[in-house]
Amino acid sequence: MGVFRLRFAQSNNIIYNNKEMRKNKTSISNPDELNKHLQHSSPLTWIVLFLVIAVIAAFFSWSAIYKLKIRLMGKASITSGVVTLEIKDSDLNKLKKGQEVFILDKKGEILSFNDKQPVISKFELDDGDQYTYTIVLEEKRPIEFLIK
């Protein structure tokens, strides 16, 4: 019971002090009064303000420079130098001529389409092996999400 009274008394004190502070609020009417208020702020306040501004600036810089890539991944096989990609019909609509295709560290591109199957530029890889391909469908900067 005593702990409850102490906590209640402390919370009443805080409320009382806040009411008192509201009564004592004054408006700043000239630059000298502003200087007086600025001198009473602690260096810790300025450090926190600077850090918050730095974090916000870093976020906006990153979102303007970095690109998010939307990728399509799947299995590819090579037979007689011809690359065959396993692609779902729903993903075929997303592909366009000129998109980059990555297999291992090698880069190629979609040259055209033959019977709904993309024709890929030649890769010098071993025949008969299964590989994982990646096609970059779209690149967006994060700031574009904030602007729209």
pTM of the model: 0.53
Q: Are residues 101 and 124 in the same domain?
A: yes
Q: Are residues 74 and 138 in the same domain?
A: yes
The segments of the chain whose pLDDT lies below 70 read: 1-26, 37-40
Report whether 67 contacts 141 (CB < 8 A): yes
Q: Are residues 58 and 88 in the same domain?
A: no
Strand partners, 131: 76
Quick one: residue 116, left, alpha or beta (phi over 0 = left, psi -120 to 50 = alpha)? left
For residue 86, what is the domain's CATH number? 2.40.30.170
Residue finishing a domain among 48, 64, 80: 64
Q: Are residues 17 and 53 in the same domain?
A: yes
Total domains in the fold of the chain: 2
Q: Are residues 134 and 110 in the same domain?
A: yes
- pLDDT for 90: 81
- pLDDT for 99: 83
Q: Where are the beta strands (DSSP E) in the chain?
A: 68-79, 82-85, 100-103, 106-114, 117-120, 130-140
* Residue type for position 16: Y
- pLDDT for 127: 78
Q: Are residues 82 and 111 in the same domain?
A: yes
Q: Are residues 37 and 93 in the same domain?
A: no
Q: Are residues 35 and 76 in the same domain?
A: no
Q: Are residues 55 and 95 in the same domain?
A: no
Q: Are residues 59 and 92 in the same domain?
A: no
Tens of pLDDT, residues 96-132: 888 888 888 888 888 887 777 777 777 777 777 788 8
CA-to-CA separations, 24 to 19, 20, 27, 34, 41, in angstroms, rounded: 9, 6, 10, 16, 17
CA-to-CA separations, 16 to 2, 7, 12, 23, 27, in angstroms, rounded: 21, 14, 6, 11, 21
Q: Which domain holds residue 39?
A: 2-64
Q: Are residues 53 and 107 in the same domain?
A: no
- pLDDT for 17: 44
